Structure formats: C-alpha cells, structure tokens
Structure 1
Amino acid sequence: MAWDPNAFATIHVLRRRPVMDLMAALPFSLTPRTIVDLGCGAGQLSRLLAARWPLADVLAVDHSPAMLRWAADTPSRVRYRQADLTVWRPHWPVDLVISAGGLQHVAGHERLFPDLLQSLGPGGVLAVALPRPQDQTAHRLLLETAADGPWSGRLHGAWPPVEETGQRYGAQDYYDWLSPQGAVIDLWETEYFHALDGDVPLLQWLHQSALVPVMDRLTGPELDRFLAAYRRRLETAYPEHSSGSALIPTKWLFLLAQV
C-alpha cells in the first residue's frame, strides 16, 4: 500500500479532538499578535490558528522538509520554517507558543520548555498536547518492523530511544521545570477511544507523525514494502471486531502555562 499524503486531511478530521481540547483550554481573553506552532506537521493547526486570529502573525516550524512541503501545498498566510526543534527558539517575545503532537520525539524537554516559557511576552501562553506513543502497542510494532527487514540499516537511529526524548517525562517533571518561573500551570491527561472502520487505514491513523522518519528515508517500492509489513502487524494487534470497527486507544498529556 503506497503512502498517500492526501490522507492527512482525512486523518486530521478524526484526530481533531486533542487539538480542539487544547484550543478550548486557551484563556478566553487571549488575543495573540504573534503565534508559533512547533512541530506543525502538515500545517492543519497552523491554518486553524490563522483563521481564528486573522490579524496574528503565525509561524509554523517543523524539522521535516517533507511535512513542510505538504503544508505549503495548501494556500494560507501561515509562514513555514524548517528547523531542528531541539535547538531552535523564538528570538522575540511571542504571545502564544503552541504544539499539538509535535514535540514528543524531541529531546531535552528540561531545557526546551523553560526556554519556551521565557520566550513569551507578558501574559503569553505556552500550550502543548503530547501524545504518549510509548504506552501503545503500535509504537512497539513500528520499531520492531524497522529493525526486521532489508530497510533496517537505513532506519537505524530514525527514532531516538525513549530515554532521549520527551516521551520519558511525566506531568510532575513539567510542573517542576515551569513553576519556579512563576507561571500559572494547568496539567491534565486524557485517554481517547476511537472506533476505526475500514474507511480509514489503521496504519495511517496510528502513526501520522511517527512515520515521518520512514518517509524521509525510504521511497518507492521499499517504502511500500515497509508499510505493508507494518500494516500486517497492526492488523494482528488491533483486530476488527464483529461491529466492523477496531477500538483504538490513544493517550495524551496536556500542558497550559501562562506568564
């Protein structure tokens, strides 16, 4: 099965609950003039932010050139920038720094999150939603598929170990890093359950962001073979039930901090 970038639009419709929950948690009085969307992916959240605040300058940042190319294919006034999120920081006071599913694979959250808080202007908000893929069978199967096949050499190191990424941190860690800076902090965790039928491929639903390293390293028939092998493992782990759907759990950690 070939990877279809256009599927991101369909997947976004189903994934919008965490995004909308994060947006709904933003302070009602917030009227940002400058917005930075970190780990913007295909740009859906960035365009949503630009539509909600039409006078705001919206900068969307991602490390993947492939994702940014897809994002730029949809006309909008959003500005896109390719950068390494482990080291890139805003160099001006920002009213809203936001990320929905873009930072869980980035290392060094103990430095990144305090730095992002310091980049905010007076009254600025840091809003982050972090999926917790390390708790999912699908993530383990993805790593097993990468290590078991002719593509293993090209995919070696594509995903850093959990202990080197933001996936190892819990709510207490973020509170301990940010509370000394005087921020008002709100933290919560939500587990979503999605009934997924055959109209949306299980493969593309489970790992939109985690598959980016694969798409950056594999192309053509080799990419198709990898995706087919991963899909077979997923279909065994998440069987279709008598209703015709598979019930897919996803867990997210949310953080909102205002200076």
Structure 2
Amino acid sequence: MHSNIAPAVRPPALDGSAPSAPTWDPQQYLRHAGHRTRPFLDLLTRISELPTPAAHSDEGPGPRIADLGCGPGNVTALLAERWPDARITGFDLSPEMLARATAEHAGPTAGGGRLDFRHGDIADWMPEETYDLIVSNAALQWVPSHPGSFAAWLHGLRPGGTFAFQIPGNFGAPSHRLLAELCDTPRWHSRLAGHGARYVHLLEPAEYLARFTELGCAVDVWETTYHQLLQGPDPVLDWVKGTALRPVLTALGDDREAVESFLAEYREALREAYPPGPRGTVFPFRRIFAIARKEAGPC
C-alpha cells in the first residue's frame, strides 16, 4: 500500500464475500511520503546486482523489472535511479494511482531505460515475460494468497534474478486493532464487518524464510520497527486515511454523516492510544522484508 505504493488490490472480507476494491487517494497517500518511502529504500540497498546485460537477448541491454502494486509510482521511480537503463513496469489496480503514476513518472529514463504503468491485480498477476527483478512495496498485505504465488513469480525470473518485498507487520498495533474493533461494533457491523480485518494471512519473518528456502533460493529476511515522529493534529488518523482506512471509507461511500461519525469515534480512540508529545506523536511502524535470489538451478 508508497508512501510509497498504495497497492490497490481487494482486502479480504471476513464473511467470505467479495468486497469492492477500495478507492485510493494518491494525494492523501503521499502526505507521509518520506516516512512511507524509507522501508523501500532500506530494501533497495540490500538487493544485490541483477543478471548482467550480457545475459540478455535483443530485448535491450538493461534489466527488466516489475513493481507489483506500484501505487502513485514514486518508489517505482526510485528503481529507475538504481538501474537507469532498466525497462520497468509498475502494475496496480487503482485507476487513480495509475493516472498519477503515468502523469508524473512514465516515459524514458536518463540512462536509456523506460518507465511504464499498467492495470493489473496482483492477486492473480503472473509473469508474461522473463524478469530480472520483481519487487513489491507495501502491497502484498492486501493479497491473502500471496505466498501461493511465490513459486510462479520466481519461475518468471532469470537465473540470478531477484524477488524482493516489504510489508507492514503492525496489524496488531493499536492503529489497526482499534479499527477492526470499531468496524465490528453493533453500530457498524452490518456495513463494515471485515473491512478492518487484521490480515492474519500474513506470515512472520521465519515463515517467509522457510518458504523461500524450500523453493531453493538464497534468502535474506529481516524485520525493522521504525519509531516515527508524526506532526500535526491527529497525525495517526491522517496516516491511516491513506492506507488502512481506505476500505472503510470506500464502503461508507457518499454517506457523509456516517463517515464523519465513524471518524469521530476512531479519532478519539487513536488520541488515547497515541498521545502527542512535546515534539510530535510517536508512531511505531513495524515492517517485514524479504529478498529471494533465484539460483542457477530450479527455484
């Protein structure tokens, strides 16, 4: 979901129904771009060199890269800074995010590469060509089945290619726990049950390590908790308006009275859970990172 990406795939519903995809607001999502981008930068520094241009055919000398859940494209552009000759495609389901990404980032890059953006739901995305790097930033938490796609995504890499991602690991934090509890209260249950889901399908770092080890990859998995100092009134509410609250706001739609009432209840709960200090509000932000490198043999 850049600060980064705002991954626009459908969140799970606890009742088994198929909820509509949330409507994303690129401007709101990017309000905390500095904090949201930091985990991706940390991920990027740990990705080793990609297969050499000599290993490529007449497709071009630069690496081929896919960004799954590219959101407004701001971190996709960071890939072009790292690999300026690369041909990079960002995939996202949100028309709003794709429009922002295309308007601000699509086109040729300084090193002879190119950035483009395509509509695609990463819940069922499969490589249609061979990639040197498949990366996903804060998106896979929206895809309950994502571990089941690892083998196919790795199969779409060249030997020596890399699959790398980072996801939130803070769904037990007050920001998300309080949201889930509020959605399940008698007042909101009929309209919002499941929209504050806690993403229990996410694995812990050791489980991701085991998955990739079983697939024969060289693996680097770790976690980090950033203690971010947010500014302004109700900054945690402002933060989640760009991500975790999107399914709720989409479900409430144009019912402004319901939106304001829900936000008022949630705001009060967040104020108690995250009291402001003299220099801002501390917001712990746990992230899980994984880098899997495909070896020469099967992976």
TM-score range, shorter chain: 0.7 to 0.9
| Root mean square deviation, CA, Å | 2.7
Q: Is the 8 A contact 2:28 2:242 kept in 1?
A: no
Matched, 1:122 2:159: yes
Which residue does the alignment assign to 2:289?
254
Q: Is the 8 A contact 1:64 1:212 kept in 2?
A: no
User: Which 5+ residue runs of structure 2 have no aligned equivalent?
Assistant: 1-23, 53-61, 108-114, 295-299
% identity of equivalent residues: 34
Superimposed CA distance per residue, residues 183-203 of structure 1 (whole angstroms, 9 cap, x where no aligned partner): 111111111101112178321
Q: Secondary structure at the match of 1:84?
A: coil
* Equivalent-residue separation in structure 1 for 2:133 and 2:239 (angstroms): 28
Q: Secondary structure at the match of 1:254?
A: strand
Matched, 1:11 2:32: yes
How many positions carry a matched residue from both structures?
253
| Amino acid in structure 1 at the alignment position of 2:150 | F
User: Which 5+ residue runs of structure 1 have no aligned equivalent?
Assistant: none
Q: Is the 8 A contact 1:105 1:160 kept in 2?
A: no
Q: Secondary structure at the match of 2:126?
A: coil
Matched, 1:41 2:41: no
Which residue does the alignment assign to 1:183?
217
Which residue does the alignment assign to 2:239?
205
Which residue does the alignment assign to 2:127?
90
Q: Secondary structure at the match of 1:6?
A: helix
Q: After the TM superposition, which residues 141-152 of structure 1 pair with which residues of structure 2 at under 5 Å, given as runs? A: 141-148=178-185, 152=189
Matched, 1:68 2:98: yes
Superimposed CA distance per residue, residues 69-111 of structure 1 (whole angstroms, 9 cap, x where no aligned partner): 4434434234333333222111211111111211012112331
Larger radius of gyration: 2
Q: Please report how far the alpha carbon of residue 150 of structure 1 lies from its aligned counterpart in structure 2 after TM superposition.
A: 6.0
Q: Secondary structure at the match of 2:171?
A: helix
Q: Is the 8 A contact 1:11 1:200 kept in 2?
A: no
Equivalent residue for 1:56, pick from 76, 86, 95: 86
Q: Which has the higher helix share?
A: 1
Q: Secondary structure at the match of 1:111?
A: helix
Q: Please report how far the alpha carbon of residue 127 of structure 1 lies from its aligned counterpart in structure 2 after TM superposition.
A: 0.8
**For residues 194 and 160 of structure 1, do their structure 2 counterparts lie closer, same or farther at Cα, with a shift above 3 Å needed?**
closer
* Equivalent-residue separation in structure 1 for 2:117 and 2:38 (angstroms): 24
Which residue does the alignment assign to 2:276?
240
Q: Is the 8 A contact 2:138 2:166 kept in 1?
A: yes
Q: Is the 8 A contact 1:68 1:82 kept in 2?
A: yes
* Equivalent-residue separation in structure 2 for 1:96 and 1:145 (angstroms): 40
